[in-house]
Amino acid sequence: MGFGGETTVPSDGTAVGKLNGTVVTVAIGVNDWGQSKPLSTFVSDYNGLLDAIRARQPQAPLYCLTPIWTSVEGFQNGQGLLVRDYRQAITTIVQQRRASDPNLHLIDGLTLVPNQLQYYLDGIHPNDVGFALYAANLAAKLPS
C-alpha cells in the first residue's frame, strides 16, 4: 500500500494495519520536509502512525526506513530544517521505541538507492533503475 504525495498522517497507520501484512515497511518523511512540517509535529505524527499500526498489528515485523537520498539534501525548508533532520528524528523514535517493541527495526534509506542523479527522475523520485535498486536492496534487509 502506498500513499503518493502524503505527509505523515497518524490515521494512515490504521489503514496499513488493516492489511494484516506479514511484514510492514514505513518509508516517509521527505514530503514532511517539503511541506515544512515542524519537527515536533513530525515526531508526534510519526509516533502516532506507528501507534496506529501497532494497534492493529502489535507483533508484525515493522521496518521504518529513513528517507532516501535527494538532490535537495543541503536545502533548508521553511522551518530551517534539512532532510537529515527528519532522518534523525525517525532514527531517534525507532531507537526509543525498540526498548518496548523488539519487532521494530530501522533501515537507513541512504543505503537503498545510490546517491547519484542518474537513478532519479527529478532528484527526489527514483526512476525505474533506481526503484529496482531500492527494491533489491530493501529485500536484502528484510526477512526471507
Please state the three-class secondary structure of 107-130 as a single string: ECHHHCCCCCHHHECCCCCECHHH
Q: Is 26 helix (H, G, I), strand (E, B) or coil?
A: strand
Q: Which CATH number fits domain 12-110: 3.30.930.10, 1.25.40.10, 3.40.50.1110, 3.30.470.20?
A: 3.40.50.1110
The pLDDT score that the predictor gives to residue 18 is 94
Number of helices and strands in the chain (H, E): 5, 3
**Which residues does 55 contact at the CB level (< 8 Å), separation at least 6?**
13, 14, 17
Q: Return d(Cα 89, Cα 9) in angstroms, integer.
A: 16
Per-residue pLDDT of the chain (144 residues; tens, 9 = 90+): 788 889 999 999 999 999 999 999 999 999 999 999 999 999 999 999 999 999 999 999 999 999 999 999 999 999 999 999 999 999 999 999 999 999 999 999 999 999 999 999 999 999 999 999 999 999 999 987
Alpha helices in 6-82 (DSSP H): 12-17, 30-34, 39-56
pLDDT of the residue at 26: 97
pLDDT value at position 69?
97
Q: What is the pLDDT of residue 79?
A: 97
Match 531507537 to its residue by C-alpha cell: 95
Name the residue ranges covered by the structural domains of the chain: 12-110
Provide the pLDDT for residue 25: 96
Task: Quote the pLDDT of residue 4.
Answer: 81
